[in-house]
Amino acid sequence: MRSPVTAPSQGELQRQNDFMLKIKAINDQKEKRPRFMINTFGCQMNAHDSEKLDGMLRQMGYEPCDDEKDADFIIYNTCCVRENAENKVYGNLGYLKHAKKDNPDMKIALCGCMMQQPTVIETIRKKYRHVDIVFGTFNIYKLPELIYTNIESASPVFDIWDKHADIVEDLPTVRKFKYKASVNIMFGCNNFCSYCIVPYVRGRERSRRPEDIIAEVKALAADGVKEVMLLGQNVNSYGRGLEEEISFAELLRRVNEIEGIERIRFMTSHPKDLSDELISAMADCKKVCNHIHLPFQAGSNEILKRMNRRYTKEHYLELVDKIRAAIPDIAITTDIIIGFPGETEKDVEETIDVVKKARFNGAFTFIYSKRTGTPAAEMPNQVPEAEAKKNFDKLLEAVNPIVYELNQKKVGNTYKVLVDGVSSDPLFVTGRTEDNTLVHFKGCSELIGDIINVKITDCKTFYLIGEQV
């Protein structure tokens, strides 16, 4: 892997704009506009990166389509958090090898976290020679240049960096939703949880300048966006390394002042460094939603130590109490891993104890999946699958009744719901309350993007049912 040459971000943006114009001129000469499709795997970071890829491709004269069979240019924006995501990418690439025989002009590009692993690059070079362009997480803004190089050379292009250069601002972006948007406030991660591959593929933490973030949010507000999600692997670390001394709490206060924005969300917040200052900012800022996602992963201090999480069960529960004291109506959701190497029945009981004491409004629960390249993958005492599954079921038996009970308390109350789309029942629409609870109620697609008062009439474990009032 090569290291990038650092260039001023504005100069780099202009350079890529020049390549976009060249490619657009090529596409303008074709009888039919080439069509593209982006298949995104993984987290909201990847989803937001795909919006930028979408914007650049449209500016280069490509048109979007919804089916790979109709596409002339296919991008897989990959994830490597779990190996089954990688296997799915390899399976899709096998299918595309045959599709490319039917459409020799088809271009296939791979990007994202999976591409930052040398073993993956070696596999692609050897087994998937029909892939045209490969790039990673640090240089998505170079897509126009990589496409042009591939066109000119008629050869595969691999451009993988082992560290980041400048953050390039103002890339063209096509948002999935007009009324809500994600905004990266930082990139990378310094935490090195022993089960996680992210720091190795996303690099070290680097923050965007606050003025760039504020300018982006103001532009989104002017374009009709009502809700923004501020994204970072650990937003609590925001500001480190910037010339201006600024914390995430201060950034929240500045975003809260922007006219037009009605809701502010953020993720993810790490328990090890969630400050009193941030809790105060959340309580003070009216636009910041009364919801926080605070992963605790395990309730056993021994397991937390092996995970390199750098907090204890006691510290986590103190945080929960402190947050609820400052914001009584807040919803707290979390992540929990079962089956981490060395986990015992006693450790599982410690995790269930946290669930019962914290009383989460929702939890993303996972059975530990060994991730090649992480310290945890080499740890002794890997938990047998059958045992992990048994303990996972026990965890759900603790989590789900609490979630249901908390939802029951909302029946009869009225909440503001931002409508996201049409439900599986076409007579219903679906949306989110401020505390991020899913709600279904009767309505038509014209309500999408509106914030509606909804009275809750019934509940299930994972969603509410209501009626417009």
Position 1 scores a pLDDT of 35
Domains (range + CATH), the chain: 9-159 (3.40.50.12160), 176-289 (3.30.750.210), 297-318+332-409 (3.30.750.200), 414-468 (2.40.50.140)
Give per-residue pLDDT as tens, 321-351.
Answer: 999 999 999 999 999 999 999 999 999 999 9
Q: Nearest-5° angle of CA 430, CA 179, CA 412?
A: 35
pLDDT exceeds 80 at position 131: yes
Pick from 380, 280, 299: which is nearest to 337 by CA? Answer: 299
Rounded mean pLDDT of 123-134?
94
Position 101 scores a pLDDT of 86
Position 204 scores a pLDDT of 86
CA distance 311 to 125: 42
Q: What is the largest CA-CA distance in the chain?
A: 68
Cis peptide before 268 (omega within 30 of 0): yes
Q: Model confidence at 174, in pLDDT bands (50, 70, 90)?
A: confident
pLDDT exceeds 60 at position 447: yes
What average pLDDT does the structure give for the chain? 92
Give per-residue pLDDT as tens, 280-294.
Answer: 999 999 999 999 999
Three-state DSSP at 293 gives: strand
Give per-residue pLDDT as tens, 65-96.
Answer: 998 889 999 999 998 877 778 888 999 998 89
Position 4 scores a pLDDT of 35
Position 5 scores a pLDDT of 35
First to last CA, the chain: 58
Angle between helices 345-358 and 385-408 (to 10 degrees): 10
Looking at per-residue confidence, does 311 or 163 come out higher?
311
